[in-house]
Amino acid sequence: MKIGPKYKIAKRLGAPIFEKTQTQKFEISLARRANNRSARRPRQASDYKRQLIEKQKMRFTYGISEKQLRGYIDEAVEKSRQPVAVVMERLETRLDNTIYRMGLAKTRRLARQIASHGHTCVNGVKTTIPSRRVKVGDVISIREGSRQTGLFIDLAEKHEITALPSWVTFDVKKMQGEVKAMPAYTPGETLFDPEQVMEYYSR
């Protein structure tokens, strides 16, 4: 999915949703922009604009298309009375996001490339579908033929096991990890507000 100028998009949305914007320089830029706005006559953003911004934050965070996000939202609303939790679980259990959460890539964008280029296997079977949904008990491993590539050759030195969320594990020696549980959504842990996103699509 082509995204466009990341710095400009993140600045417009007011959140460091891309790797290159997660810097002190970007934070200073946002603070300066906020100060400039506060010096002018404040304008109240409409509900629609706030919801649109939150929707864009969610979409760009996970690097998915509008069609994909809409599909996840419709599925969650149809299947559950708690659609926010269902949507977040669906986004987190994408194969590319799981690869990212296991610490195999510094960004979700790179994790998506790893998945689509067939560098990983799910339960021993090579897969090239980044959006594939993983389940509890699934074992995700680095494909034998990819272990000596530049992507993974120094993984043992760079991998940070302490940064892994509780629902996944990864064994650097075995070059494989496991989905131990379904991820649970905790309000306030994301750069966007899923409730606002649901409101946007309920119009």
Higher pLDDT, 160 or 86: 86
pTM above 0.85, yes or no: no
* pLDDT digits 0-9 by tens, 46-69: 999 999 999 999 999 999 999 999
Domains and CATH numbers, the chain: 1-62 (no CATH), 93-179 (3.10.290.10)
Could you give the angle at which helices 47-62 and 6-13 cross, rounded to 10 degrees?
140
Instruction: Say how far apart CA 75 and CA 52 lie, in whole Å.
Output: 20
Q: How many CA atoms lie within 13 A of 193 on its CB side?
A: 12
* pLDDT digits 0-9 by tens, 154-185: 998 888 877 899 999 999 999 999 999 999 99
* pLDDT digits 0-9 by tens, 139-153: 999 999 999 999 999
- Terminal alpha carbon distance of the chain: 26
State percent of the chain over pLDDT 70. Answer: 82
Exposed/middle/buried for residue 117 (C-beta within 10 Å: 0-12, 13-18, 19+): middle
